């Protein structure tokens, strides 16, 4: 996924919704991946690499948080709870900035491969020159893989924190999950650049809320 | 013998163009990727090693465009290289094609794929979570990649066959109109998901207060859009929302 995001294909396997869900499947807690990925997908929806300037890294926080939440659930002996999802999101959200920093560093490092390609072309080794393109990929694979593994490894430590946390902290974390989801949805609406986005968003949210309230009342009735 | 590019070689170049950003660097940008994609063409176009090296050197100048639109650029470069190899064109035509089209194609690709199609399919994918559960990401991938892969193949073929005349063909597609429609979908789907989250997880806040909590979240969403438009950093909004909800849980 680290390679697919930019180096090869860009078929969106590295988008937060997909990458985090896959991470959840791999760790045996698909719901954690799905609901963590959902928030990050909305949060990073408007990010785009334009003219060589990169946006915050969207895959790294999503995969790290999904790993962390799933690992917390596993350590607690059950599926992760919304409080665990929220804690993982809160810890991993800044990784988007760290990922961007790392990405820019790796881009600068890739200059040396271009230098090698120029020298190889000058000496008539055209195949070797072309292959430099593939050599630039491996650092991304190694660095992002290590970071995600570290996030998963931190899960058990955090699980013990959640297990020993007072009920008020757990309650606060549980409440913060939908609040962060709404904040991420607001970021997505603002980033949509749609004409009349505010009225469209208001209409859509009102209709959805009305349908859900109606369904709930019908169920209670 | 007249130089030509066999189908297998064209397919190989199209495959290699998927790696256009693998060796991205701040100065050369996608130049390494372009060099890698074009390399299988040289033995078919130029018999002499010196001519092959000269062709390779022609493409060591900085190159950058949208990675999907690069398919049209790679196809177009092959179109002009083929003309040059047959003695029907010149190297200036190739340089002119690259410099005049890589910018506009980048803008077109960014505007449609990165700022319209991806957000729209992503938001719809998220909106399908309540209905499809863990299959929602699969629906997102299928919808996005159907358009993506068809577009990439079409751009490569049209670029190869038409060269710079691919531009009028692109105009016929009315890309800006589709982009605007997709952006509307993004706004509607994202807001719908926000409302669903407040209802679905607002219930966790406990019995009678659930509806009120959901209404507060609704207001938070509206304020959130306004704050992002006022350049409040999204991370600050995310943490602010969590902080407010956490505080409310203590006071409620």
Instruction: For residue range B28-79, list pLDDT tens digits in order.
Output: 999 999 999 999 999 999 999 999 999 999 999 999 999 999 999 999 999 9
Condensed to tens digits (0 to 9), the pLDDT of residues A21-59 reads: 999 999 899 999 999 999 999 999 998 888 778 999 999
Within 8 A of B119 by CB-CB distance, chain A residues are: 45-46, 188, 191-192
Instruction: Give B189-245 pLDDT, tens digit per residue.
Output: 999 999 999 888 876 655 566 667 677 778 888 899 999 999 999 999 999 999 999
Model confidence band, residue B1 (pLDDT cutoffs 50, 70, 90)? low
Residues A84-103: what's their mean pLDDT? Answer: 93
Helical segments of chain A, H only? 16-26, 30-43, 59-76, 82-92, 95-109, 111-122, 126-135, 138-153, 155-164, 167-191, 197-220
| Distance (Å) from the alpha carbon of B6 to chain A's nearest alpha carbon | 19
Asked if residue A58 lies in contact with residue A100, where contact means CB atoms within 8 angstroms, the answer is no
Asked if A172 is an interface residue toward chain B (Cβ–Cβ < 8 A), one would say yes
Q: Is A86 on the interface with B (CB under 8 A)?
A: yes
Instruction: State mean pLDDT over A156-183.
Output: 87
The residue ranking higher by pLDDT, A24 or A143, is A24
DSSP string covering B190-208: HHHHHHHHHHHHHGGG-GG
Res. B159: pLDDT tops 90: yes
Does residue B202 or residue B135 have the better pLDDT? B135
How sure is the predictor about A153, in pLDDT bands with cuts at 50, 70 and 90?
Answer: confident
Mean pLDDT computed over A77-88: 90
Query: Which of A114, A185, A190 lies nearest to residue B23, judging by beta carbons?
Result: A114
User: In the predicted model, what is the mean pLDDT of chain A?
Assistant: 89
Contact B29, B62 (CB under 8 A): yes
Lowest-pLDDT range of A26-40, A142-156, B165-179: A142-156
Q: Which segment of A49-63, A81-95, B120-134 scores lowest on mean pLDDT?
A: A49-63
Position B218 scores a pLDDT of 80
| Any B CB within 8 A of A133 CB | yes
Min Cα separation A19/chain B (Å): 9
Residue B80 in tokens: 């002009």
pLDDT of A147 > 60? The answer is: yes
Q: What was the pLDDT predicted at A25?
A: 94
A63 contact B CB<8A: no
pLDDT of the residue at B199: 83
**CB-CB: which of B26, B137, B225 is closest to A108?**
B26
**Residue with token string 């006071």:** B251
For residue B164, what pLDDT is reported? 92
- Determine the pLDDT at residue A66: 93
The pTM for the full model equals 0.94
Among chain B residues, the shortest Cα distance to A45 is held by B119
How many whole angstroms separate alpha carbon A133 and alpha carbon A116? Answer: 10
Q: Quote the pLDDT of residue B205.
A: 59
Quick one: CA torsion of A38, A39, A45, A48, rounded to 10 degrees? -110
Q: Which of B19, B218, B238 sits opposite A183 (nearest CB)?
A: B238
In a 3-state reduction of DSSP, which class is residue B115?
helix
Q: Contact at 8 Å (CB) between B125 and B137?
A: yes
Contact A114 B27 (CB under 8 A): yes
Angstrom distance (rounded) from CA B9 to CA A127:
15
Q: In the beta sheet, which residues pair with residue A50?
A: A53
Residue to test with chain B: of A13, A16, A133, A212, most B Cβ within 10 A: A133
| Residue of A175, A214, A217 to mutate when probing chain B, most B C-beta within 10 A | A175
Question: Are A201 and B191 an interchain contact pair (Cβ–Cβ within 8 Å)?
Answer: yes
CB A26: neighbour CB atoms within 10 A? 14
Residue A57: how many other CB atoms lie within 10 Å = 25
CA gap B120, B113 in Å, rounded: 10
The CA distance from A104 to the nearest CA of chain B, in Å, is: 8
pLDDT of residue A97: 93
Q: Return the residue of B nearest to A23 by Cα.
A: B134
């Amino acid at each position: 996924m680290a390679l697919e995001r930019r180096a090869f294909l860009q078929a969106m396997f590295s988008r937060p919704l997909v990458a985090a869900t896959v991470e959840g499947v791999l760790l045996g807690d698909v719901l954690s991946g799905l609901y963590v990925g959902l928030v990050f997908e909305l949060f990073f929806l408007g990010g785009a690499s334009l003219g060589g300037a990169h946006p915050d890294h969207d895959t790294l926080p999503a995969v790290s948080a999904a790993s962390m939440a799933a690992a917390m659930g596993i350590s607690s002996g059950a599926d992760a709870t919304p409080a665990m999802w929220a804690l993982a999101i809160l810890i991993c959200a800044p990784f988007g900035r760290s990922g961007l920093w790392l990405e820019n560093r790796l881009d600068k490092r890739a200059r040396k491969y271009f230098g090698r390609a120029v020298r190889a072309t000058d000496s008539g080794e055209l195949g070797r020159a072309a292959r430099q393109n593939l050599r630039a990929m491996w650092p991304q694979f190694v660095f992002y893989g290590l970071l995600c593994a570290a996030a998963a490894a931190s899960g058990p430590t955090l699980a013990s924190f959640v297990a020993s946390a007072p009920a008020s902290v757990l309650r606060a974390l549980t409440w913060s999950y939908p609040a962060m989801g709404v904040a991420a949805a607001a970021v997505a609406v603002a980033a949509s650049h749609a004409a009349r986005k505010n009225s469209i968003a208001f209409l859509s949210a009102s209709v959805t809320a009305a349908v859900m309230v109606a369904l709930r009342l019908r169920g209670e009735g | 013998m007249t130089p030509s590019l066999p189908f297998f070689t064209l397919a190989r170049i199209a495959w290699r163009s998927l790696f256009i950003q693998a060796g991205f660097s701040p100065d050369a940008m996608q130049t390494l990727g372009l060099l890698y994609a074009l390399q299988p063409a040289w033995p078919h176009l130029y018999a002499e090693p010196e001519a092959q090296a000269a062709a390779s050197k022609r493409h060591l100048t900085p190159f950058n465009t949208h990675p999907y639109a690069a398919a049209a650029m790679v196809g177009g470069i092959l179109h002009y290289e083929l003309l040059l190899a047959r003695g029907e064109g010149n190297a200036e035509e190739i340089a002119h094609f690259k410099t005049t089209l890589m910018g506009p194609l980048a803008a077109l690709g960014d505007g449609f794929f990165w700022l319209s199609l991806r957000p729209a399919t992503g938001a719809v994918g998220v909106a399908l979570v309540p209905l499809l559960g863990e299959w929602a990401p699969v629906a997102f991938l299928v919808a996005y990649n159907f358009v993506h892969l068809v577009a990439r193949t079409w751009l490569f073929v049209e670029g190869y066959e038409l060269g710079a005349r691919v531009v009028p063909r692109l105009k016929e597609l009315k890309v800006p109109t589709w982009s605007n429609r997709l952006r509307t979908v993004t706004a509607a789907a994202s807001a719908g998901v926000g409302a669903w989250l407040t209802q679905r997880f607002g219930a966790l806040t406990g019995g009678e207060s659930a509806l009120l909590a959901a209404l507060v979240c609704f207001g938070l969403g509206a304020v959130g859009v306004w704050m992002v438009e006022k350049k409040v950093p999204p991370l600050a909004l995310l943490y602010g929302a969590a902080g407010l909800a956490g505080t409310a849980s203590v006071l409620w």
